[in-house]
């Protein structure tokens, strides 16, 4: 939502729990609220909703480590090695 706010966009936010399985009634509600506008969702929910909603989009999520990547990988290896002892 912060990204949309930063862009100065107006939107209606519908919130569902993680791993939510959308009912036909909820899909109908989403369609009614969207009207002819685009629907923006998480990448994960996009996979659940595609084919049920028109004008469905998502913003892809990428991961970047702020710390030095080699250092992070070494920490993971050390952690895994300790778990295996």
pLDDT for 74 equals 81
The residue range of the domain holding 49 is 2-83
Structure tokens at 3: 């990204």
**What is the spatial distance between Cα 11 and Cα 34, in angstroms, rounded to a whole number?**
9
Q: How do the pLDDT tens digits run along the chain, 85 residues long?
A: 888 889 998 889 999 998 899 999 999 999 999 999 999 998 999 999 999 999 999 988 887 767 666 677 787 888 888 766 6
Q: Is the dihedral angle over the CA atoms 6, 12, 16, 20 positive or is it negative?
A: negative
For the chain, how many structural domains are there in total?
Answer: 1
* DSSP conformational letter for 45: H
Whether the model pTM is above 0.85: no
Quick one: how far is CA 7 from the chain centroid?
Answer: 18
Judged by phi (left if over 0) then psi (alpha if -120 to 50, else beta), residue 3 lies in alpha
């Amino acid at each position: 939502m912060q990204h949309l706010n930063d862009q100065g966009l107006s939107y209606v936010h519908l919130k569902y729990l993680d791993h939510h399985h959308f009912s036909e009634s909820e899909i109908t509600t989403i369609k009614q609220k969207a009207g002819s506008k685009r629907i923006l969702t998480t990448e994960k929910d996009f996979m659940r909703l595609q084919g049920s909603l028109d004008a469905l989009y998502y913003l892809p999520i990428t991961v970047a480590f702020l710390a030095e990547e080699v250092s992070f990988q070494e920490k993971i290896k050390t952690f895994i090695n300790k778990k295996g002892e």
